Chain A
Amino acid sequence: MTNVPPLVSARGITVTYQRKSLQWVGPKRQPLQALRGVDLDIMNGEVLALVGESGSGKSTLARVLVRAIEASAGTVAFQGTDITHLDGEALRGIRRHFQVVFQDPFGSLNPRLSIGAAIAEPLIVHKIATGEALRKRVAECLAMVGLEPSLASLRPHEFSGGQRQRICIARAIACKPQLIVADEALSALDPSLRDRMIDLFQDLKDRFALTYLFISHDLGVVQRISDRVAVMYLGRVVEIGSTKEIYRHPRHPYTQALMAAVPVPDPVAERRRRYASLPGEPPSPANPPPGCPFHPRCARAIDRCRTAAPLLTEAAATHQVACHLPD
């Protein structure tokens, strides 16, 4: 472990949603635990991927890190400063350092604003530029994502999905942030576009020394783009390590199941693979099992798994697993 402080540091993040009871009397509904005591560090200049399925809490965690939603407990620090309880002007000032690219290229852009105005938004909000300087910067951002600057006056509906996502990326880099959170940014795009987008992400990262938090359920994309991977399940990080390590030797049974479930584009190999199915259903965060969250579906579960939730422990250099019986 180097001594360089992380860019973003989260400790003990817990997010609990209280759900309103549907009736006047009777039992209260169970609160929904989206995240349970998550610790995470994002190092400067890396691409950290958050991988998990629905209910894993990966999107929630990302939103907590950028203060889009409030954690019920825990702290978030940015460049060493605690930003958990910042408000108003201070919070706005911090926000220019991290931006988000969302999943839906169609919903992320205001249909009534020209794309130039959309890209200018962060610049206006943070009072970075006005007038001619503003226009120039918008044109620069468009060019950087591979779009003609003359298109700035057009509205989002005149662009294709892939182009809209590029516009969202242009908006994200407009105020020169340090961290970009890509929340399933490629999932809504056609497969043949994804590679180009990955190249664009890489290119921007190299040019501007960006740090990425990359949320995705697509293990292939994650392998291509990320330096480290954190696997999440039911509100906890169950495995985290360098991408190479995780893909070469996944240790947590859930990670192993996840990797096994992804189809490989080789019919011969696929016929040979026997996918041992994951029994049971993906869990509901409203009713988390006691102990290890994965134990009801785990082939290796022992008694201890039912009672004590495992903590992240080091299995190898740059590789941590939360399991009582890691591989």
Chain B
Amino acid sequence: MDFWRLLFRAPQARNGLIMLAFVVGAALAAPWLAPFSPMHVDPGARLLPPLTPAAESASTYFLGTDSVGRDVLSRLLYGARLSLTVGMLAVLLSTAFGTMVGALSGYFGGWIDDFSAWLIDVQLSFPFLLLALFLLGALGGGTAAVVLILALGTWVNYARIVRAQILSIKNQGYVEAARVTGAGAPRVLFVHVLPNTLSPICVVASFSMAQAILTEAGLSFLGVGLDPSTPSWGTMLNDGRDYLLNAWWIAAMPGLAIGFTVLGVTLLGEGLRDLLDASGPR
């Protein structure tokens, strides 16, 4: 409980949390906030600048329309859902897998360690983009594929960090004390060792989420990510690429949204790090 209290007190973390909460809230409330359907195509309302009132309905295209007449604001709000979901799922997946590999190799060593070191080396020897393109080609795109690729790109970081942490924690007095008391390996690992590796994981996870959102946007921007018709910030960037000069808002709005979210997540991550370093274990 005192952890949350401290988090709110730190200005950086608090700001980051507020920004993130804002974005998540907007995404969750999309059905109520969005003035239009994000898929609604209206060829007569193409490339309208922001704050143009709509013809039929009473509302306004607050952020303008894109090349096929869809409301940018609505697409932005619904797009937030997809981008955030992809980001969070990717982080969850890579954290889980990476932590598991790192924990097992750090704690047990031996052939497990050798094998995962080999696995990590193989993974790292592939340039990420190449891997992404190959997998997307093979899996045919779609949300699940993108999440998988993002997870594949980052699990290695967790594995390394967790392994290093565990190597140092393994020799701590309380771990030996637990073993001498009679605790078995699973108990020692889950009750004593892993909780103490949480602090660097939390920090890397929050940074990774920022990275995941950006990467997804990048992949979509390149045209290899999500299905172009589904609204996500990345696909919106892709759409707006050809219109940067005459309809800048199509790309600028998602760009700003990404920037805002990433800033929020990064601030939160930095705040978390300061917090966990200072008041955490010892």
Interface residues in chain A, defined as those with a beta carbon under 8 Å from any beta carbon in chain B: 66, 68, 91-92, 95-96, 99-100, 102, 104, 106-113, 118, 121-122, 125-126, 157, 168, 171, 175
Contact = CB atoms under 8 A, between A and B. Distances in A.
Given A112-B196, A112-B281, A126 B173 contact: no
A110 B196 contact: yes
Contact of A121 (B176, B183, B280, B282): B183
Interface of A is mostly: loop
The 8 closest A-B pairs by CB, nearest first: A107-B173, A111-B281, A95-B182, A108-B173, A110-B174, A92-B182, A122-B181, A112-B195
B40 interface: no
A117 to B, nearest CB: 9
B2 to A, nearest CB: 10
Contacts of B179: 68
A294 to B, nearest CB: 31
Contact of A92 (B184, B191, B196): B184
Contacts of B281: 111-112, 157
Contact of B173 (A91, A102, A175): A102
B170 interface: no
A20 to B, nearest CB: 13
Interface of B: 172-174, 176-184, 187, 191-192, 195-196, 280-282
Contacts of B178: 110, 121
A95 B181 CA distance: 6
A68 B174 contact: no
Contacts of A106: 173, 282
A171 B183 CA distance: 13
Nearest to A118: B174
Given A107-B173, A112-B281, A68 B184 contact: no
B202 to A, nearest CB: 13
Contacts of A112: 195-196, 281
B260 to A, nearest CB: 34
B181 A99 contact: yes
Contact of A125 (B182, B196, B280): B182
Contacts of B177: 100, 102, 108-109, 168, 171
A79 to B, nearest CB: 17
A96 B182 CA distance: 7
B173 A125 contact: no
Contacts of A104: 173
A37 B173 CA distance: 28
Contact of B176 (A68, A95, A125): A68
16 contacts: A66-B180, A68-B176, A68-B180, A92-B182, A95-B180, A102-B173, A102-B177, A106-B282, A108-B177, A109-B173, A109-B177, A110-B178, A111-B174, A121-B183, A122-B182, A125-B184
Contact of A99 (B180, B184, B192): B180
Given A110-B192, A112-B196, A112-B281, A125 B183 contact: yes
Given A68-B180, A107-B174, A111-B281, 15 more contacts: A68-B179, A95-B182, A99-B181, A106-B173, A107-B172, A109-B174, A110-B195, A110-B196, A111-B196, A113-B191, A121-B181, A122-B181, A125-B181, A125-B182, A171-B181
Nearest to A117: B191
Contacts of B182: 91-92, 95-96, 122, 125-126
Contacts of B176: 68, 102
Contact of B282 (A91, A111, A113): A111
A118 B195 CA distance: 14
Contacts of A168: 177
B180 A100 contact: yes
Contacts of A118: 174
B259 to A, nearest CB: 36
Among B174, B178, B184, B281, chain A packs the most CB atoms within 10 A around the CB of B174
A37 to B, nearest CB: 24
Contacts of A122: 181-182
Contacts of A99: 180-181
A168 B184 CA distance: 20
